Amino acid sequence: MKWLVLLGLVAFSECIVKIPLRRVKTMSNTASGKNMLNNFLKKHPYRLSQISFRGSNLTTHPLMNIWDSVYLGNITIGTPPQEFQVLFDTGSSDLWVPSLLCNSSTCAKHVMFRHHLSSTYRPTNKTFMIFYAVGKIEGVVVRDTVRIGDLVSADQTFGLSIAETGFENTTLDGILGLSYPNTSCFLSKALASVLKGTREGATSQQWLVMYFLARVSGSELVVGAVLEDMLSQRSPSLLLLYSSLDVSYYFLSISMKRYVIACSLGCEAFVDTGTSLIIGPRRLVNKIRKLIGATHWLSKHYVSCSVVNTLPSIIFTINGIDYPVPAQAYILEVSTGNCYLAFGEHGFILSRETWFLGDVFLRVYFSVFDRGNDRIGLARAV
């Protein structure tokens, strides 16, 4: 578990790799999926996913990708390369894609890795199981060459799923984790190390990743630099990651119309690209819903789209710096004239109240994940 603490300026790097991200529809965006989604949310409230490896619990991380949109990018695996559309997730550390040997009907809907066609493929004797809020993934741990743009990691450890449950209505082929190696369930070099190391024809570069998410088009994952044309005239405020063992204070509060509406004594928060909404404790999210005047119906809270322009911004204050999220960002349209509040709730009990700032927040503030210097930066997106 990591904490965010204020720091200074953005680091720059000369090596740049730009990976376009594609925003795709999920269950809530399709007519056939809405009823399935509502039924699913009733039966499966959001919870932290738990990863286990050979019977041992190693780490936890949040993953939500079913409520609004997922941002996917291309990677390739094997020799010759086989292409996959994956979710780049800062809340986890491992890569998995479906195997040709997968016996679940879910896998047949996605691109499956054909290991027998890759000359660089190497099996291992390890297996894995990952539990998510939507279901679980079971598979085997293998090695092969993985490419992200022109970044290359040879003999990279990753997972091949042989059974998938709960991913029937997702559009992603797999998940690529960008978090710290010590949270890896494969007990080996996490794939994120490729981003600081081997680039074809170039020397090693610092681990630096920037996310820019857009509602329509233009979303990008940028490795190795912070692009100034994506910044507004305001300077970015960076947040340093500390171990929770050394931190004895809180940093987040939430306000609206100059009044603190949540976290008056401070809360903990995570910037997470694997989460679609802004997720918070049930009690605090319900308070925000009442202040907005949203009406509950079938697991969502709706408002008329005609009032969106009259609703106030919700301000996330992190170490004294305000990050306003306007109503046009935290209210999403589900159908003509019908909009819903893009806040989700979790019901688990932690020692401190915890929030997950997902895509709804990240469409307003692009994020820089500088693991080489243990910091995260936020700046208003243009």
**51-90 as b/e: b if 16+ CB within 10 A:** bebeeeebbbbbbbbbbbbbbbbbbbbbeeebebbbbbbb
> What's the rounded Cα separation, in Å, for the pair 355 and 346?
9
- Which residue from 210, 224, 201, 205 is spatially nearest to 73, judged by alpha carbons? 210
In 3D space, the residue among 359, 347, 353 whose CA is nearest the CA of residue 41 turns out to be: 347
Write down the catalytic residue from 68, 89, 144, 173: 89
- Tell me the CA distances in angstroms from 163 to 89, 97, 116, 160, one per residue in order: 21, 11, 19, 9
Q: Are 89 and 102 in contact (CB under 8 A)?
A: no
Residue type present at position 27: M
Q: Residue 272 catalytic?
A: yes
C-alpha 63/C-alpha 275 separation (Å) is 5
Whether 370 is a known active-site residue: answer no
Spatial CB neighbours of 315, under 8 Å, sequence gap ≥ 6: 254, 255, 256, 322, 323, 324, 325
Kindly name the residue from 68, 144, 173, 272 that is annotated as catalytic. Answer: 272
**CA–CA separation, 65 vs 68, rounded Å?**
7
- Which are the catalytic amino acids? 89, 272
